[in-house]
Structure 1
Amino acid sequence: MGNRYTWRTSIVEILALLLGLVFLVPFYYVISNSLKPFAEILTNTSALPKMLMFDNYVNAFEKLNFLTVFKNSLIITIGSNIVLVIFCSMAAYMLVRTKKKISNIIFMTFVAAMIIPFQSLMIPLIKTAGNLGLLNSMWGLVFMYLGFGSGMTIFLYHGFIKGIPLELEEAAIIDGCTRFGVFWRIVFPLLKPITVTIVILNSLWIWNDFLLPSLVLQDPELRTIPLATFFFFGQYTKQWDLALAALVIGIIPLLIFFFTMQKHIIQGITSGSIK
């Protein structure tokens, strides 16, 4: 009787369906207009395309130099995720297991850094990066993503590690394992659910980021997908047909990655709720 389908349930489902359709509206505009000629986009934006212009995708692929910009985005995203996972997981572990006041101060400093707007740091960041030789370098950009992503990553790892029983580590130490070995052999494998969630969140941010790469990467050969797409918008012309096709091409790898990892996201949420 408790699971009986009621009219309230049906109303909630209808509202949820309508809300979902609202969120899909931008995707409709992007995909439908990416298949239209430029003139039709200007005259009839909301309608379905009268004729499918797949040439938009071919031209956008060529003008983007897609294989190069895709490689750049992939290197930056993977490199940033690797350093974030390695350094932030170790930092969070030590902050949780070191029962000292300084550990709480350092943790709260990382959390507080999450609310600092990036715009307030742009000028000193670029000046410092220039002095250190980090500009116009993909690995310099990866280093900056480590700094800007550490706050949230450490925060998520910190909360998850607190749920891991300390007895597992004590048993490993009794068996002769070092603190370094305890982390990599015992603790880190248990962090898989939250690690997958962190990688997905950081990948969505880094892959789509425009502002930081636009400040750091000046060489056209180092452009990421968002940077390359921006150059369809000139001072006097805006190539909406090619720009929208480029957006779809740039989104596809991220969608494939997200749907591939979706199962692990659900496992991470479930594991966290049980803990």
Structure 2
Amino acid sequence: MLEKPYSFKVFGVEAIAILLALIFIAPFYFVFGNSVKSFAELLTNTASLPTSLHWDNYSRAWEALNFPLALRNSFVITVLSNIGLVFISSMAAYRLVRHPSRLNRVLFSLFVAAMVIPFQTIMIPMVKLFSWLSLINTIPGIVICYMGLGVSFTIFLYCGFIKSIPREIEESAVVDGCTPYGTFFRIIVPLLKPMTVTAIVLNSLWIWNDFLTPLLFLQKPGLQTIQTATNTLFGQYMKQWDLALAALVMGMIPVMVFFLCLQRFVIKGIADGAVKG
């Protein structure tokens, strides 16, 4: 089979792709490059390469923010929220898809409609409600908050994927004596693995990087996440950019590694979920 000749059109497409890649990589260059500069050099030569590497920015940020505590809080909140979202959303989506009654269609429409409601429009009523329930400044409180905010999107993902699963598989399990719960947990849940990983990755990126929700619901210093702890470096008269950028890098690394390790499952889950979704 003859290869197509390398044309000017192909060269133009590749050049545009490289240019777009450089544009998207540029923020990472500024964050990583400036995180090892001195404060004075950072302010005067932001776009240049560092003349000397100040790795002590990381150790100073580690101590100033009590970074292990903030890392633990972010990790616990992200893990617990994902467990709740996956458990509730998968079961709800299975019921909505496999029992297409008028009520379930209305419920699915409400879940989809809830995805377009900005958080800023409901945050004040939510803070008042959670305060009344004594859930402010508690890990369970913010986990419940994230579960409520993320359940619509997660159900939407699962519904599209479950539609691509043949009903014959479940019917065979019922013939073999499986109960409805046994069919779901033994047959459906393993098949949902690509979409489950996709939901976990997407929700983790959102929860880990979220700033506004922890700022509203976790106001005690011992409950700060990485994002809210980093915000303490910006005061009225002083902004410690050198430490803040180092903290941002340390906060980015776990979620970046997590995403890179699971990105193939994300692509597969989205592609499979779009078959009949």
Q: TM-score, normalised by structure 2?
A: 0.96
Q: Structure 1 101/2 Cα, relative in aligned 2: closer, same or farther at 3 Å?
A: farther
SS at match of 1:259: helix
Structure 1 residue aligned with 2:266 = 265
Following superposition, which runs of at least 4 residues in structure 1 exceed 6 angstroms of deviation?
A: none
Q: What's the offset of the Cα at 1:260?
A: 1.3
Contact 2:164/2:272 (8 A) holds in 1? no
Q: Structure 1 3/140 Cα, relative in aligned 2: closer, same or farther at 3 Å?
A: farther
Structure 1 residue aligned with 2:110 = 109
Matches of 1:56 and 1:267 in 2, distance apart? Answer: 39
SS at match of 1:119: helix
**What is the identity, as a one-letter code, of the residue corresponding to 2:225?**
T
Query: Greater shift after overlay, 260-269 or 230-239?
Result: 260-269
Q: What's the offset of the Cα at 1:199?
A: 0.6
Matches of 1:22 and 1:137 in 2, distance apart? Answer: 40
**What is the identity, as a one-letter code, of the residue corresponding to 1:111?**
V
Structure 2 residue aligned with 1:185 = 186
1:112-131 residue pairs with structure 2 within 5 A? 112-131=113-132
Matches of 2:157 and 2:3 in 1, distance apart? Answer: 35
CA deviation vs aligned residue, 1:165-219 (integer Å, no higher than 9, x gap): 0111111111111111111111111011111111110000000000011000011
**What is the identity, as a one-letter code, of the residue corresponding to 2:24?**
F
CA deviation vs aligned residue, 1:67-119 (integer Å, no higher than 9, x gap): 11111000000000000000000000000011210000000000000000111
**What is the identity, as a one-letter code, of the residue corresponding to 2:238?**
T
Q: What value does the CA root-mean-square deviation take over the aligned residues? A: 1.4
CA deviation vs aligned residue, 1:104-155 (integer Å, no higher than 9, x gap): 0000000000000111101100010011111101111010111100111000
Matches of 1:146 and 1:70 in 2, distance apart? Answer: 20
Matched, 1:242 2:270: no
**What is the identity, as a one-letter code, of the residue corresponding to 2:192?**
L
Matched, 1:69 2:89: no
Q: Structure 1 80/242 Cα, relative in aligned 2: closer, same or farther at 3 Å?
A: same
SS at match of 1:226: helix
| Count of equivalent residues | 275
Matches of 1:128 and 1:168 in 2, distance apart? Answer: 44
Q: What's the offset of the Cα at 1:44?
A: 1.1
**What is the identity, as a one-letter code, of the residue corresponding to 1:72?**
N
Matched, 1:100 2:104: no
SS at match of 2:242: helix
Q: Structure 1 273/117 Cα, relative in aligned 2: closer, same or farther at 3 Å?
A: closer
**What is the identity, as a one-letter code, of the residue corresponding to 1:211?**
L
Structure 2 residue aligned with 1:47 = 48
Query: Greater shift after overlay, 79-88 or 8-17?
Result: 8-17
Matches of 1:242 and 1:20 in 2, distance apart? Answer: 28
SS at match of 1:48: coil
Matches of 1:265 and 1:80 in 2, distance apart? Answer: 19
Q: What's the offset of the Cα at 1:3?
A: 5.7
Matched, 1:176 2:177: yes
1:1-275 residue pairs with structure 2 within 5 A? 4=4, 5-272=6-273
Matches of 2:33 and 2:87 in 1, distance apart? Answer: 41
Matches of 2:203 and 2:10 in 1, distance apart? Answer: 35
SS at match of 1:238: coil
Q: TM-score, normalised by structure 1?
A: 0.96
Contact 2:161/2:274 (8 A) holds in 1? no
Matches of 1:82 and 1:25 in 2, distance apart? Answer: 34
Matches of 1:269 and 1:12 in 2, distance apart? Answer: 26
Matches of 1:77 and 1:209 in 2, distance apart? Answer: 10
> Structure 1: 5+ residue runs without aligned partners?
none
Matches of 1:110 and 1:182 in 2, distance apart? Answer: 25
Matches of 1:107 and 1:228 in 2, distance apart? Answer: 37
